Amino acid sequence: MAIEEYEHVIMECVSCGLCQSNCPIYKETKLESNSAKGKMTILYALLQGWLDWDEVAGRMYECTTCKNCQATCLSGLDIPSVVEAARAELVEKGYGHEVSKQIAENIRETHNPFGENPKKRNRLKELAEA
């Protein structure tokens, strides 16, 4: 889904900052561009043409999409869906994250996101049982 389709969500963010305290990334970095509030401002600026896709890419990948921000949002906004839509568009525009590319490659080649042999899947279970 194109990011434009989420414009109303981006508009609805009132920048109150209640999302900050629950965000695992923000708590680590104390950087507004890592909070949901900051991301909505960044995406708003992108939609207005004040920022380009290549400028926003890095910050859009710094999100766990854990939905903690949604749980504390004054407006109940589904921020992770907006971030995921932005990421989908970033991939289309050629700004996919290197780690994501590697995971996709691993799944294609080994059917395992970590590139491990699928036959090892039960190893941890066996270890635990032992």
Partner 1 sequence: MTDYRKKLSEIVPSENLVTDKVDRVAYARDLTPYFAVSDAIVFPTTREEVIDIVKLAADENIPITPRGGGASFQGSSLPVDGGIILDLSRMDRILEISNEDMVAVVEPGVRYETFDHELKKHGLTFPHDVGSHDAASIGGILASDSNGHHAYKYGRVGSWIQAMEVVLADGSVMELGGRPPRSNMGFNLMSLIAGSEGTLGIITKATLRVIPRPPVEASVGAFFDDLDDLIDASLAITMSGIEAGTLEATDGYTVETINDVMDFGFPECEANFVGDLQGYSEEDLQRKIDVITSILEEHGGKQVTVARDDAGVRRLWAPRMEIDVAVMETNPGYREIGFAAADPCVPLSKQAEAMREIGKIIRSHGLIAAVFCHTGIGIIHPAVLIDPQNRDHWKAMKQSEREIIDYVQSIGGVLTAEHGLGYVRNPYVREAIGDKALNFDRKIKEIFDPQGILNPGKMGLDREERDEGIEFTFPAYVEDKEIWE
Instruction: State the nearest-atom distance from the C-beta of 37 to partner 1, in Å.
Output: 8
* Least distance (Å) between residue 109 CB and partner 1: 34
- In the region spanning residues 38 to 97, those forming contacts with partner 1, defined by CB under 8 A, are 38-39, 41-42, 44-45, 48, 50-51, 55-56, 58-59, 74-76
Q: What is the DSSP string of 19-84?
A: TGGG-HHHHHH--GGGSHHHHHHHHHHHHHTSS-HHHHHHHHHS----SHHHHH-TT---HHHHHH
Task: Kindly state the tokens that stand for 31.
Answer: 């950087």
Of 1, 2, 31, 66, the residue at the interface with partner 1 (CB under 8 A) is 31
With 0-12 CB in 10 A as exposed, 13-18 as middle and 19+ as buried, what is 97? middle
Is 30 an interacting residue with respect to partner 1 (CB under 8 A)? yes
Residue from 16, 66, 71, 104 in contact with partner 1 (CB under 8 A): 16
**Cβ contacts of 104 within 8 Å, gap of 6 or more:** none
| Residues near partner 1, by CB under 8 A | 7-8, 11-18, 20-21, 30-33, 35, 37-39, 41-42, 44-45, 48, 50-51, 55-56, 58-59, 74-76
